[in-house]
Structure 1
Amino acid sequence: MKFSVVIPMYGCPEAIPELHRRLTETLTKLAGDDYEIIMVNDHCPGNSWEGIRDICKKDRHVVGIDLSRNFGQIKAILAGLDYSSGDWTVVMDCDLQDAPEEIITLYNKAREGYDVVFARRSERQDSKSKIFLSGLFYKLYSWATDVKYDPALCNFSICSRRVVDSYCMMRELHRAYVMYIQWMGFKQTSVDVQHHERFAGKSGYNLKKRINAATEILTSQSDKLLRVMLRAGLAISFLAFVAVIVIIIRHFTVNVPAGWTSLIASIFLMGGLILSALGIVGIYVGNIFMEVKHRPLYLVRTIINDKKEPLKEKNE
């Protein structure tokens, strides 16, 4: 297989026909008949699976994978990558904010000798709050991992077979597609692409989900928060020691009344710091607890147009 295109499907069933049409035109130009389009239904509330089934019946190039429940975008991408077999694999979203025609641009750049080419959204068509939060997270993540990340990069990318195989070898529970690919260190670059308005539907990531995802990624990829709390604890202990010395000296030199307010404030300050430190440690311990279970990262309910059984529906 020359090309594989992996698309996690959630929240935009209306875009499926147009997405399929434009992908077919683009991939036919690049690879003739030698391509596959893998649509992974991540338990879409809009019933994208029905649209995927219809497309699969009409086009043998389309593989439909129906996950047993919602596992999240990144794990849906992993499911598609596990199944893909292309020499080159494209990952993109289903909402057509990234144009399928740009795959040609990504591939032409990859042919210059790159293993990975990311699409870079130089002018994002998202809300200002989303862009701000994204930039803030990437700054925090860059600080935590000591690696500079570009917030304009997105999941839309093309990777060689060895990059995809290497990515699929990493089976951590908490995942981030772009960061993992960059961490692997293969020869990579980016190209600017035009970012469009969403064709249909709306983002499945609300503020709560974004905060949860950011917390999972930060605590699974870096222990810097633990080291920060250790340094903060040592600094506060040193300041407390200095304060005790000062209080002892003032006791013998100046008649100072007892400070009930300052005492209570100090207790609450230290109590809050201790609870915060315990909470951060608890998150890391919780990550370990989830990882040692070795549960599958996703479960497949149905595959349509399975390679071993073409044009049939295979239950897993």
Structure 2
Amino acid sequence: MEKLSFVIPCYGSETTIEIVVNEIRETLKQRPEYDYEIILVNDCSPDRVWPRIRALALADSHITGIDLAKNFGQHAALMAGYRHCTGDLIISLDDDGQTPACELFTLVDKMKEGWDVVYASYAHKMHSGFRNFGTWMNERMTESLIGKPKGLRVTSYFIMRRFIADEILRYENAYPYIEGLIFRATRNIANVPVTHHERMVGESGYTFSKLLALWFNGFTAFSVKPLRIATFCGSACACIGFLYGIYVVIRKLVDSSIEMGWSSIIASIFFLGGLILIMLGMIGEYIGRIYISINNAPQYTIRQVVTADSSCDKPMF
């Protein structure tokens, strides 16, 4: 019997997580030949979602609840869930009901065509304009920096085979980025269309600062192209400065009456100084990530794992 594992990071979903779990249960009744488990990871949510998760886990042997000690982010929460799941196919989805659990077999059936990973795609996303812009920016970043195939739509609702999850779990450093880890493991990836639902309650937990941190994490952890871009920009500015210097000298020799102004010098200093600081900041991001990795900073810390049989503390990863 093939087993499905559902991994759901939970943040601010006190009123929605039980609805999502029930939707999964009802949908699975259509295909009783599949065994399943649901891994609910509380990413230190400020509401009372953990008591809800704990009650669900204690009442159903198919559900495991994981409580993280602090907020590590969606991708770290997914890594925690992947380390505890045992299914042949792993499905990741959101806790707010926008990713339609009722269409999970659309993804499962697409996998039967031989794909390693299948992402849900939406004809019309029910996110805010800000979130849609963030998604667009993330698409462009992953295409140009970490090799996402053009035309592939990446979403938080996807299914992958067991061996892809095992390859992802080989990454043990801080700041995991799931898309980068997937693209590093395979290019045998497809999309399948599903319907995107309205958010049940509240607003997305992704602020501008969190999206920016996610983008920085993606390109500093899985690509050296930003460093190459910095080298190219520095070389281009050096060439422009050299040519401009030749132009100024020739102009002065041709017409000695021309007074050289300080405004152009100040503008050049500001431009070059800002460019240098940006490049140094970029290099600093890479060095900082190296330093954090060397110091074995954890991807996440688990406070407690709860199942129907028992609840016990788990070690830090």
TM over 0.5: yes
CA gap 1:166/1:43 in 2 versus in 1, 3 angstroms = same
- TM-score scaled by structure 2? 0.92
Partner Cα distance (1:246, 1:56) in 2:
74
Aligned residue for 2:169, secondary structure, equals: helix
Q: Which residue of 1 aligns with 2:309?
A: 311
- Distance in 2 of aligned mates of 1:83 and 1:23: 19
* 1:293 aligned residue: 295
Deviation (angstroms), 1:32? 5.3
Say if 1:124 and 1:179 are closer, same or farther in 2 by CA, change over 3 A: farther
CA distance in 1, matches of 2:93, 2:210: 20
Could you give the per-residue CA deviations for residues 157-178 of structure 1, whole angstroms, max 9, x where no partner exists?
Answer: 1212111111111224233223
Tell me if structure 1 keeps the 8 A contact 2:227–2:282: yes
Task: Identify the residue that residue 63 of structure 1 maps to in structure 2.
Answer: 64
For residues 47-82 of structure 1, the C-alpha deviation after alignment (integer angstroms, 9 at most, x for no partner) is 201101111222111111111111111110110110
- Native 8 Å contact 2:173 2:298 kept in 1: no
The whole-number CA distance in structure 2 between the counterparts of 1:177 and 1:29 is: 30
Distance in structure 1 (CA, Å) of the matches to 2:101 and 2:21: 9
Structure 2 unmatched ranges of 5 or more:
none
Asked if 2 retains the 8 angstrom alpha-carbon contact of 1:155 and 1:177, the reply is no
Q: Which residue does the alignment assign to 2:106?
A: 105
State the superposition RMSD in angstroms: 1.9
- The answer to whether the 8 A contact 1:167-1:181 is kept is yes
Q: How does 1:1-316 map to 2 (within 5 A)?
A: 2-31=3-32, 34-150=35-151, 152-185=153-186, 187-255=188-256, 256-305=258-307, 310-316=308-314
Quote the Cα distance in structure 1 between the aligned partners of 2:71 and 2:56: 21
Q: Secondary structure at the match of 1:103?
A: helix
Whether the aligned pair in 2 keeps the contact of 1:118 and 1:191 (CA below 8 Å) is yes
Which SS does the other structure have where 2:155 is aligned?
strand
Looking at structure 1, the residues matched to 45 and 218 of structure 2 have their Cα atoms a distance apart, in angstroms, of 24
Q: Is the 8 A contact 2:153 2:191 kept in 1?
A: no
Segments of 5+ residues of structure 1 without an aligned counterpart are none
What's the TM-score once normalised by structure 1's chain length?
0.92
- Measure the CA separation in 1 of the matches of 2:294 and 2:123: 40
* Deviation (angstroms), 1:226: 1.7
Shift of 1:4: 1.1
Output the CA distance in 2 between the equivalents of 1:145 and 1:161.
22
Distance 1:187 1:260 in 2: 58
Give the Cα–Cα distance (whole angstroms) in 1 for the partners of residues 306 and 32 of structure 2: 22
The letter of the residue matching 1:23 is: I
Contact 2:173–2:297, Cα closer than 8 Å, also in 1: no
Say if 1:215 and 1:182 are closer, same or farther in 2 by CA, change over 3 A.
same
How much has 1:151 moved relative to structure 2? Answer: 7.0
Task: Give the SS at the match of 1:169.
Answer: coil
Determine what percentage of the aligned residue pairs are the same residue.
Answer: 32
Query: How far is the alpha carbon of 1:122 from its aligned partner?
Result: 2.1
Bigger CA drift: 168-177 or 141-150? 141-150
Aligned CA distance change for structure 1 residues 278 and 34 (closer, same or farther; 3 Å): same
Contact kept, 8 Å, 1:121 with 1:153, in 2: the verdict is no
Distance 2:73 2:151 in 1: 23
Asked if the contact 1:163–1:186 (Cα under 8 Å) also holds between the matched residues in 2, the reply is no
C-alpha displacement of 1:125: 0.5
Q: How many residues of Structure 1 are paired with residues of Structure 2 in the alignment?
A: 312
Matched AA of 1:257: E
**Matched-pair contact (CA < 8 Å) for 2:177–2:217:** no
- Aligned residue for 2:72, secondary structure, equals coil
For residues 231-286 of structure 1, what are the alpha-carbon distances to aligned partners after superposition, in whole Å with 9 as ceiling and x for unaligned? 22222222222222233333333122131222222222221222122111111111
